[in-house]
Chains A and B, each alone.
Chain A
Amino acid sequence: MSAMTRELFFFLRLRSGIAALALLLLLGLGGVASGLLETQRQHDAIARMQPLQASDVSAISAWVSRSGDPGNAAYYTFHATWNPPSDLAFAALGLGDVAPSILRVRALGLEAQLYEGDIVNPEVAMPGRFDFAFVLIYVAPLFVILLLHDLFSAEREAGRLGVLRSTPQATARLWAPRIAVRLAGLLVALALPFLLGAFIAGTPGWKTVAVLGLIAAYLAFWALLSLAVARLGTTSIGNGMTLAALWLVLALVAPSLAHVAINTAVPLRQGAELSLLQRNAVHRAWDIPKTATMDPFFQSHPEWAGTAPVTAPFHWKWYFAFHQVGDESVATLAQQYRDGILERSRLAERLGLILPTVGVQLALHRLAETDPRAQLAYQDRIRAFHKRLRTFYYPYIFNELPFGMEDFDKAPRYAPETKQP
């Protein structure tokens, strides 16, 4: 323990080291603060939306209920879905910027609504956000390098290395405590801001522990790399350059090269394609016999096959049927599109097994539920909700029941899934 106290004492007198840790702590606090502000903005937008949505529906119900036409109710009423940021989203904002956290849908074809985006300033999204994930993944390694690259070479340059090496049990009594003190300092400088943020955001214990584990593991990786270079290299400046170059490759060059490679290997044209096809399939209904729409619809929805046949050029049941048939006609493409996004994620995850920078980035965003998988899960919840909407309106439309003021209150309400481990 005395060796530990001595090294701690040494380190506390090393002004540059303390300054570095203070700076890292400050950056960490900044990242956590801006992450918390951003998630608060997302929560606020969701809270602001609720009364607006209610007023919009009541304005529609005011005139629709006069005639009681269920088709008008289903056609004009938008229903809100939302995806509140998770209790860890502050640490890794991820897709929170370009993927919408609010989407309104109608009982019409979903494939024409599901991929809509919110209002985003791409110039803000481009440089990336200043969140805790950024401080950990990009900035922290530079501080590890700063504190460890000259561990041995500084002593050599001061002419003390030979003496220190000949001390019995040098590793246990000198180097290990010195490394431990510096790493502990880095760990504290990163963990403190995170714990503060986790406390404010109400992050559950297991997630907090998992993130602390990621921080420790990531620091350990950079520490080992730095020590290996420090051991092999001779001059402080040479070690510093080698490590900075490694950082450049691991944190910037390799991931961005892999990004272009993955997107080239898994081209995704299905999104645009399915939009074109779905639109054609939906509108073709006006030019073909009614049975050509109703028969496939009854096949997937046999419960309505017994209702009165459509004879007039227009009937709402036919109208909503062709929207559904349009969705069904592109179901394969929609699945392929979803699979393509997953495949890109999977390839990135495989890269994460080799590159710790990528691995930690992905793990952190997975825990924070701000990655593409989380976005797809939200889309799945919207799909399920859309199905509930259709099931709600169909009885009114197919049985030609009047849709009154009180029926608007019976419409299904979206409930964001309570987040589960």
Chain B
Amino acid sequence: MVLLLTVAAAVASSAYYRDQGALRERMEAQANADFTQQPDRHPHRVVHFGHFAMRPPSGLAAMDPGVEPFTGVMVYLEGHRQNSANFGDARQSSLLVRFGQLSPAFVLQAVAPLLLIFLGAGMVARERERGTLRQMMLAGASGGDLMIGKMLALGAAAAVMATPAVLLVGNLGLNGQVAAITGGMMLMGYGAYLVFWVVLTVLVSALTPGARPALVLLTALWALSVVVVPRVAAEAGAGLTQLATRLENDVAIQRDLRDMGDSHDPDDPYFDAFKRTTLKQYGVARVEDLPVNYRGLLGIEGERMTASLFNRYAAQNFAAMADQSRTMDLVSAISPTVALRRLSMTTAGTDLATYRRFIDEAERYRYELVQRLNRMQAESVTFKDDAAKSNDAAAEARSRVSADNWRATPAFRFPQEPAAETAARATPSLVVILVWLALAAGFAGLAASRLQRVAR
């Protein structure tokens, strides 16, 4: 049943993310075409026309969508503003998205352990109930051998459940969509996680007096680890660190900007000083005599100021989110599922850090694009035409620069994180899972000797 479910999840999830990838690629091509096909325009018009950055779904999103449905996929990049990433799945889907998304990751993280518990809870306990356990021990079998045998049998079931996921990741690896090291770490994590549940199940089965208490205890542990703790952890994270609202950030940015210098005030000291420095630099007395368009220079300076504030506030927001995530990790130290989830999202490239990298890359691109256009305005549009363009049609026509410039603008690219860096970020969670496994194995060793003692 779980095998079937994993196959269904792998197929449905792959198809969904293939569609998503194709859709976003189409949108990206459209956005690039829209940009390069602009007619001759004033550079500042193009600053406002802007561009779009699309976030491509990660190669392993089909395996583990992670935070993918809860993040926006498309950012509008324009001058003087920083927009949010929009059109994420969670906001445009039915509430069913809250039940979780059927993916191989979901099946292996949540469903497979419960099935292992069903299969294995009675393994040792029933032998005890029937009295066969005592017979075997008296016949000279060791507790360790018995438990290892049971674990191997249950482990075989786990291996069957994991097969479709291994095939999926392997296939993506062969297509070059996944690096060997990250794909390997992911599979290793899932392997260790399933073995952990195998060991835990047999361990509890060996320690409890009967099959039923073993089942109840294991199911409760499962519900705690898989269902309850992640949510409690999220609640703790959200409760202890509060995020600012976008409105608060926007108002604060405008206020800080006014404190730096008011571009609407002709006598503002900051912009007055900027003017004097610029004039001195070029050795002229009036802005009209500058060899470049002063308006373009003002644009460059203004964008530098706003962008520095955007970056400062964005860094604050992401730092607050990182605080929340740290709290969540601390609270969820009692759940191996959470460690696996982090490992899985990190190696799949569907975690918060990857999303932040996209937002940062989009902002960098936005800044470079706008400054490139501002420089164009400074160098290719005369100050006189620029000043007269609102009332003089001839000056307006002269203030437009050639459309060749748009075709020469590089397109936005979202490079993949180097596999070694992803692997480094994923290592701590892999270690946590292995510690869980080692702990369970240690207790299983103790249980094995106890089994022997009690039986004799």
A residues lining the B interface (CB < 8 Å): 27, 30, 34, 37-38, 41, 45, 48-49, 52-53, 55-56, 59, 63, 78, 80, 94-95, 98-100, 102, 104, 112, 115-130, 134, 138-139, 142, 146, 150, 236-237, 240-241, 244-245, 248, 251-253, 255-264, 267-269, 271-273, 275-276, 279-280, 283, 286-287, 312-314, 337, 340-341, 344-345, 347-349, 351, 357-358, 361-362, 365, 371-372, 375
Q: Is the CB of B352 within 8 A of A123?
A: yes
9 interchain residue pairs of minimum CB distance: A348-B94, A255-B99, A122-B67, A127-B230, A122-B70, A259-B96, A314-B390, A256-B102, A130-B231
- Residues of chain B lying within 8 A (CB to CB) of residue A256: 96, 99-102, 106
How far in angstroms is the closest Cβ of chain A from B176? 26
- A283 engages B95 (CB within 8 Å): no
Is the Cβ of B390 less than 8 Å from the Cβ of A264? no
Q: How far is the CA of A129 from the CA of B236 in the complex (A)?
A: 10
With A240-B212, A275-B74 already in contact, the answer to whether A123 and B99 are too (CB < 8 A) is: no
Residue contact B86 to A271, C-beta cutoff 8 Å = yes
Inter-chain contact B94/A361, CB cutoff 8 Å? no
Would A116 and B16 count as touching, CB distance under 8 A? no
Contacts of B265 in A (CB 8 A): 63
- Interface stretch, picked from B240-248, B280-288, B436-444, is B240-248
**Interface pair A260/B228, CB less than 8 Å apart:** no
CB of A104, distance to nearest CB on chain B (Å): 6
Q: How large is the interface on B (under 10, 10 to 19, 20 to 34, 35 or more residues)?
A: 35 or more
Bound together, the chains give a CA A259 to CA B69 distance in angstroms of 12
Say whether A275 contacts B76, CB under 8 Å. yes
Taking the nearest CB of chain A, how far is it from the CB of B427, in angstroms?
A: 19
Instruction: Give chain A residues whose Cβ lies under 8 Å from the Cβ of B69.
Output: 126
Which residue in chain B gives the minimum CB-CB distance to A125? Answer: B70
Taking a contact as CB atoms under 8 Å apart, the answer to whether A119 and B317 are in contact is yes
Which B354-409 residues have a C-beta within 8 angstroms of A?
A: 355, 389-393, 396
Candidate in B250, B264, B355 with the most chain A CB atoms within 10 angstroms? B264
Whole-angstrom distance between the alpha carbons of A344 and B219 in the complex?
A: 34
Q: Is the CB of B67 within 8 A of A313?
A: no
CB neighbours (8 Å) of B122 from chain A are 237
Q: Is the CB of B73 within 8 A of A272?
A: yes
B247 CB contacts on chain A under 8 angstroms: 49, 52-53, 80, 102, 104
- Of residues 282 through 340 on chain B, the ones whose CB sits less than 8 Å from some CB of chain A are 317, 320-321, 324-325, 328
Task: Write the nearest CB–CB distance from A242 to chain B, whole angstroms.
Answer: 10
Residue on A with the closest CB to B237? A124
Q: What is the minimal beta-carbon distance from B107 to any residue of chain A, in angstroms?
A: 8
Looking across the interface, which residue of chain A has its beta carbon closest to that of B67? A122
Given A37-B239, A123-B234, A269-B23, 15 other A-B contacts at CB below 8 A? Answer: A56-B255, A102-B246, A117-B86, A121-B243, A121-B321, A125-B67, A139-B228, A256-B99, A260-B101, A262-B93, A269-B27, A286-B42, A313-B389, A313-B396, A347-B94
Q: Is the pair B391, A129 in contact by a Cβ cutoff of 8 Å?
A: no
In the complex, what residues of A have CB within 8 A of residue B70's CB? 98, 120, 122, 125-126
Q: How distant is the Cα of A117 from the Cα of B111 in the complex, in angstroms?
A: 33
User: Shortest CB–CB separation between residue A109 and chain B, in angstroms?
Assistant: 12
Q: What chain A residues lie within 8 Å of B76 (beta carbons)?
A: 112, 275, 279
- B21 touches A (CB below 8 Å): no
CB atoms of A257 and B8 under 8 A apart:
yes
Q: Which of A56, A139, A237, A257 has the most CB of B within 10 A?
A: A237
- CA of A130 to CA of B237 in the docked complex: distance in angstroms? 12
CB distance from B111 to the nearest CB of A (A): 6
Residue on A nearest B230 in the bound complex, by CB: A127
Nearest CB in chain A: distance from B58 CB, A: 14
Q: Of A53, A257, A271, A357, which is within 8 A of B92 by CB?
A: A271
Q: State in angstroms the CA–CA spacing of A337 and B91 once bound together.
A: 12
Residues from 62 to 78 in B contacting A, C-beta threshold 8 Å? 66-67, 69-74, 76
Q: Which residues of A contact B66 (CB under 8 A)?
A: 126
Nearest residue, chain B, Cβ from A362: B95
| A312-B391 in contact given A123-B351, A139-B228 (Cβ < 8 Å) | yes
Answer yes or no: B211 CB below 8 A from chain A CBs.
Answer: yes
Interface centre among B76, B90, B232 (most CB of A within 10 A): B90
Q: Are A41 and B242 in contact (CB under 8 A)?
A: yes
The answer for the CA separation of A138 and B230 in the assembled complex, in Å, is 14
Are B211 and A279 in contact (CB-based, < 8 A)? no
> Whole-angstrom distance from the CB of A286 to the nearest CB of chain B?
5
User: Are B111 and A125 in contact (CB-based, < 8 A)?
Assistant: no
Residue of A nearest to B262 (CB): A63
The one of A27, A271, A276, A345 in contact with B30, judged by C-beta atoms closer than 8 angstroms, is A276
- For the complex, is B13 an interface residue (Cβ under 8 Å from A)? yes
B48 within 8 A of A: yes
Question: How far, in whole Å, are A126 and B52 apart by their CA atoms in the complex?
Answer: 26
* Given A128-B98, A134-B231, A341-B92: A100 in contact with B13 (beta carbons within 8 A): no
Is A119 a contact of B102 with CB atoms below 8 Å?
no
Chain A: CB-nearest residue to B211:
A237
Rounded to whole Å, the gap between the CB of B323 and the closest CB of chain A is: 9
Q: CB-CB < 8 A to B249: which residues of A? A: 119
Q: Is the beta-carbon distance between B237 and A121 smaller than 8 angstroms? A: yes
A362 CA to B233 CA in the complex, in Å?
Answer: 24
Given A119-B246, A347-B94, the answer on whether A59 and B254 have CB atoms closer than 8 Å is yes
Chain B, residue nearest A116 (CB): B84
Provide the residues of chain A in CB contact with B231, threshold 8 Å.
Answer: 127-130, 134
Q: Let me know if B52 and A98 touch, CB within 8 A.
A: no
- In this complex, what residue of B is CB-closest to A115? B86
Q: Cβ of B150 < 8 Å from any Cβ of A?
A: no
Q: Which of A48, A134, A261, A348 contacts B248 (CB 8 A)?
A: A48
Please determine whether B23 and A98 come into contact, CB atoms closer than 8 angstroms: no
Interface residues of B in 110-130 (CB under 8 A from A): 110-111, 114, 118, 121-122
Inter-subunit contact B94/A53 (CB<8 Å): no
